[in-house]
Amino acid sequence: MQRCDSDALVLFGATGDLCYRKIYPALYHLVRRRLLNIPIIGVARAGWTREQLAKRVQDSMAQFVSNPDGETVERFVSLLDYVDGDYRERSTFDQLRKVLGNAERPLHYLAIPPSVFSVVIEHLGGTMPRGARVVIEKPFGRDLASARELNRILLKRFPESNIFRIDHYLGKEAVQGLLYFRFANSFLEPVFNRNYVASIQITMAEKMGMNGRGKFYEEAGAIRDVLQNHILQILAFLTLEPPVSSGGEALRDEKVKVLKSIRPVKPENVVRGQFRGYRREDGGYPGGHGARGPAGGRGKYWPPVRRIDQAYGDRNLVCACPPPAAFE
């Protein structure tokens, strides 16, 4: 297959948390391995300059990369540019197009709140070259209807092959290692099945607390944040049949088979809780520090799935439980 690498990387949400904690450090490692040498354009509405973006990237390196190498940071910073403007304004995209110059296959990474996905996609569709690509982070929609609507808007503007719906969690080494652990170990593979495994428990334990993300959790909730993406992906990795090839589509097909064979979760099999101290969290929580949230607030609830019977048979339960001590 012919490679058509992207010739520019556009980061929407360049001032945000995802870029700061995850994307800039990941880009640093690509630059260090000389795999990334294209213009990187941050877009946000903070009124920043290119120098302020460079400073943000340098701070991110200092905080999230162990022993960053000065020469690599310098090369990374030399690739940066910045466009300031609101995503709802067409002028922001006209300005971006100017900065992109002759780029034919710019990759647009949407590290932005889901509420502005569609407006950004529509503007990109109206201003970008035909080879433009788009990356969307989870959560993909708020529910089935909004996920379908988002898909519709994307497909109206971009061909399927230029759309990347990603879940960064799948890039974690421990998650990637699950398939090797299961299928590349000849002593393990024959016994990792319903005849020898009584149950699987998936615990997603985070060291991090709210970190000022109260507003996000009030709007999305922890279930949408991690359950139907990270945890179901891990569940699929743990239970799928060996894919027919190592290609992405073969893996996707096997995941779909597992997910289709899960029985619908009944309310009596669901236990929900909230992080201890959630309502006293500072930073972003409506009402501020010390305020009590609404009784029905979604909060940092942890996975509701206490028990998923699935095609492995009734004896084999797959559980997604929080550490009990985290509840109140």
Ligand X SMILES: NC(=O)c1ccc[n+]([C@@H]2O[C@H](COP(=O)([O-])OP(=O)(O)OC[C@H]3O[C@@H](n4cnc5c(N)ncnc54)[C@H](OP(=O)(O)O)[C@@H]3O)[C@@H](O)[C@H]2O)c1
Phi-psi region of 284 (alpha: psi -120 to 50; beta: other; left: phi over 0): left
- Under rule CB under 6 A, which residues in 6-35 are in contact with ligand X? 13-18, 21-22
Task: Tell me the residue ranges of DSSP E strands in the chain.
Answer: 8-12, 40-44, 80-84, 106-110, 133-137, 163-166, 199-202, 308-309, 317-320
CA atoms within 13 A on the CB side of 154: 23
Let me know: does 182 contact 157? Beta carbons within 8 Å: no
**Cβ 21 to ligand X, closest distance in Å?**
6
Interface stretch with ligand X, choices 52-60, 84-92, 234-242, 290-298 (CB under 6 A)? 84-92
Catalytic residue selected from 108, 168, 230, 289: 230
Interface stretch with ligand X, choices 134-142, 153-161, 180-188, 295-303 (CB under 6 A)? 134-142
Please identify, using beta-carbon distances, which residue of 17 and 253 lies nearer to ligand X.
Answer: 17
Active site residue 230: yes
Strands 80-84 and 40-44: parallel
CA-nearest of 9, 18, 50, 29 to 213 is 18
Residue 189 contacts ligand X per CB under 6 A = no
**Cβ 260 to ligand X, closest distance in Å?**
26
**Cβ 160 to ligand X, closest distance in Å?**
21
Residue 228 contacts ligand X per CB under 6 A = no
Size of the site for ligand X (CB under 6 A): 23
Radius of gyration of the CA atoms of the chain, in A: 22
- Under rule CB under 6 A, which residues in 92-111 are in contact with ligand X? 111
- From residue 144 to residue 183, what is the string marking binding to ligand X with x (rule CB under 6 A)? ------------------------x---------------
- Could you give the CA distance from residue 80 to residue 23 in angstroms, rounded to a whole number? 14
Residue 113 contacts ligand X per CB under 6 A = yes
Helices (H) and strands (E) in the chain, counts: 12, 9
- Reported as type and span, the H/E element at residue 229 is none
Which residues sit at the interface with ligand X, rule CB under 6 A? 13-18, 21-22, 44-46, 86-88, 111-114, 116, 137-139, 168
Active-site annotation, residues: 230
